[in-house]
A and B are shown apart, each in its own frame.
Chain A
Amino acid sequence: MDKQTDTDQQNSRFELKTVLETSRMLIESRSPDFVLDNLLLIIMGKLLVSSTAILFYDPESTGYSIIKKKGSVRLPEGPVDIDESKVNIQQPYVLYDEEPGLFPNLTDNMEGSLFFNLRTSNRHIGFLFIGRRPNGKKLQEHELEFVESLTIISASAIANSRMFDELKTTNRNLDQRIHELNTLFDLSKEFNLLTDREKISRIFKFALLGQLFVRSFFLLYKSEDSITPLASSNLKSAINDEISEAVFYAANDVTPVDTALAEKIPFLEENNISTLLDISIQNDKVAVIGVGKRANEKPFSESDFNFLKSLANLAINAIQKTYLIEERIEKERMEEELSIAKSIQIGLLPDPIPNVEGLDLSAVTKSSSEVGGDYFDIAQTPDGNHVFAIADVTGKGVPAALLMANLQSMLHVLLPVDITLAAASERINNLIFKNTPADKFITFFWGKYFHKKRVFSYVNAGHNPPLYLPADSSEFQELSEGGLLLGAIKATAPYEQDKIELKSGDIVVCYTDGVNESLNKDETEEYGEERLKECILANRKESAKTIQQSIVSDVYQFSNNKQYDDITLLIFKVD
C-alpha cells in the first residue's frame, strides 16, 4: 500500500466520521443558527478555507441575503443582488468562474470560489459560499463530495427545524382556536340559563376582556326607543346619550378609530378605544362594541374580530331574549289585570235584573276586550220604588273598575237616605272630585220610577241623554236635565232634577257612548243617534228585551263585529 493511498483512506475515514458526527449533531439541533454556524466552521477547519458565507433565499421576496459570514467576506450581512431567474438550482454546486456576473463579489479574489446549493428534496434554501483557499489549491473531488454531503444534511436540519417551528405555531394557533370555541360554548350554555340582562352583560364583558386581553371596553345596545350602554370596563367618563348615538352610527363592521373619528368623537381617544365593531342580527344593527388596544400591544387579527362577533351575537341574542320575556310577562300581567277588571265590573252589575212593577225592563253590558268603564244598576229604595242608573267611567281596566266600584257603593249608601236625586248627585260629585285626580270623572244618569204615579224623575250628570219615546209620538225627547259630569269640578251650582209622566207603551232607552260611537268597518263613520232612533222606532212594538237585542245586533252589524268600547243599554217600556 503506497503512502498516497494510505493518506487518502485516512482522509476519507476522517471525512466520513465528520459527516456522521455532524449529521447527528445537526439533526438533533432545532436551531438553524447553530446548524449554519457549525456548517461554516467545519468547512473552514476541515478544508482550510478562509472565507465562507450563507446566502439565504426568501421565496416571498424572491431575493437572497447574506445571513452568516465567516472569514474575509467583505460584504455586510443583508440582501445581495443575484438574478434569481438565472440561478440553476438543479446542480449541487456552481463554480464562480463558470457563471461570471451571477454572484456578487464576496471577497477580493473570487477566482475558484464555489456556491453550494443548500436544498432539500423539494426546496431551495440558499447557497453556501466557499471562497478560494489562500494557497489557491482547488477542492478535490472527494472534498467536493464531502461538502455536498454536509450541505444536504444541513439543509434537511434547517428544513426540519423550520417545520418544527411551524408546527409549534400551528399547534398554538389551534390551541387558541380551541380555547375560543370553549369560551363560546361555555357562554352559550350560561346565557341559556340567564334572564338577567345585567348578568349577561357582565359575563360577556369578562369573556371579552379575558379572551382578547383588553382592558377598555363598552357595549352599546339599541332597543326600540334608545341606545344604551349595557356594559363597560375601565372608562374614564360615562357614556351619555349624545356619545352613545354618535358612536353607534359611526361604527360600520370593523371600524378602526382613526384620527378623523377620534376628532369627531373625542370620547373614544380619551378612553383608549381603538376599534368599533357593529353587530347586526338579520341585517338589523342592534349593538356596537368598542374595544381598547390589547394589553400586550399585539394587533387584533381577522380571527379575533370573528370571535368577538360570535361572542357578541350570543350575548345580544340572550339580551334580546330577556326583552321578549319581559314583554311576555307584561302582556300576561295586562291580561290578568283585564280579567280582574272584568270580574269587578260583572260583580257590580245587578244579577238577576229585578222585576219592577208596571215596567218591562231589560239591561245589558257588553264588555269590550279592553274593558271600559260602563256601569248600570237597578235597585229598590226603602219606599218600594226603584232607582235606575247608567254611567261611563273614564279610563279602562282596573283603575276604571275601581272607580266604578266606588260609585256603586256611594249609590247604595245613599239609597236609603231621604234626599232628592239632585242633592245625592251633588254629594257623589263632591266625594269623587275629592278622591280622584282631575282627569278621572264619570258621566252619570240616574232616575227614580214611582210605580204608583208612573212618574220618572231623573238627574243627568253629563251622560248621553237617554231617549224617551212616548207611545203616541214618533218624536224622541232627550232626558238631559241635570248638571256637570261627576268628579270633574266641585259642584258650584246644584244639579237640576226633572221628571216625566209615563203612560202605557212609552219607551225610555238609556245607553252609553259605546253604542252611538261605534265605528263602521272603515272607521270613517259613527253609528250615531239617528240610526239608534230608527232602530228603536222599527222595534217599538216589541218587548224591552227584543228592542235591546235589536240595537245590539244593529250596532255589531254596523261595526262589522268590531268593538272598541263597552256597550251598555238600559231600556224600559211601560206596561
Chain B
Amino acid sequence: MKNFSVKHRTQSGFSILDLHGELDAHTASQLEDALKDLINQNRSEIIVNCSNLEYIASAGLGVFMAYIEDVRSDGGDIKLTNMNDKVYNVFDLLGFPTLYDILDDESDAINNFSNR
C-alpha cells in the first residue's frame, strides 16, 4: 500500500506543507486538496517542504502547475524546499527550475518571502 501524507503547519507566518512518502497519480488529489484549502483561506505564500518526499510522479508535478498561476495572481508563490536528489532530478528533467523557486532549505524560503 502506498503511503503519502500532507501535513500543514505555520512557521513565521507562512504556510508550510510537509510532504511524506510517494506522490503519484493515486495520491496527487491529497496534495490538491491541501493546496486548495490554503488558497481558499487566502494563504498564498506557500512553502512545500519535500524533505520526506521519497518519490514524485508527473501527476504530482501537475498539481503544482495547476495552482501556481492562482497563487501568483494573488501576489504569492509556491516555493519548494529540501528535496532529495532523486526528487529534484524529476523536477529538473521536466524543466521546473525555470518556473519555480526550488531552494535547499525551508529557512531560505522563509527569508525570500520575508525580504520581499
Residues of A within 8 A of B (CB): 172, 175-176, 179, 182-183, 186-187, 189-190, 199, 202-203, 205-211, 213-215, 233-234, 294-296, 298
Contacts and interface: CB of A to CB of B under 8 A. Distances in A.
A199 B59 CA distance: 12
Contacts of A233: 65-66
A298 B99 CA distance: 12
B37 interface: no
B58 A211 contact: yes
18 contacts: A176-B94, A179-B94, A186-B25, A187-B59, A199-B29, A203-B29, A203-B59, A206-B66, A209-B61, A209-B62, A210-B59, A210-B64, A213-B65, A213-B95, A215-B68, A215-B69, A233-B66, A296-B95
B93 interface: yes
B57 interface: yes
A234 B71 CA distance: 12
A179 B95 contact: no
Nearest to A187: B25
A294 B94 CA distance: 10
Interface in B50-66: 57-66
A214 B93 CA distance: 14
Given A179-B93, A182-B57, A202-B29, A210 B24 contact: no
A504 B68 CA distance: 94
A175 B86 CA distance: 12
Nearest to B63: A206
B39 interface: no
B90 interface: yes
Contacts of A296: 95, 98-99
A208 to B, nearest CB: 7
Contacts of B60: 206, 210
User: Which bracket fits the contact residues of B?
Assistant: 20 to 34
Given A186-B24, A215-B65, A234-B66, A210 B93 contact: no
Interface string B79-97: 0000000000110011110
Nearest to B68: A215
Interface of B: 24-26, 28-29, 32, 57-66, 68-69, 89-90, 93-96, 98-99
A186 B90 contact: no
A258 B96 CA distance: 27
Contact of A179 (B28, B68, B69, B90): B90
Contact of B25 (A176, A206, A215, A234): A206
A205 B25 CA distance: 10
Contacts of A189: 25
Given A179-B94, A182-B57, A234-B69, 12 more contacts: A186-B24, A186-B59, A189-B25, A206-B28, A209-B65, A210-B61, A210-B63, A210-B64, A211-B58, A213-B65, A213-B99, A296-B95
Nearest to B57: A186
A211 B61 contact: yes
A214 B65 contact: yes
Contact of A210 (B26, B62, B69, B98): B62
Q: Looking at A209, A210, A294, which has the most chain B CB atoms within 10 Å of its CB?
A: A210
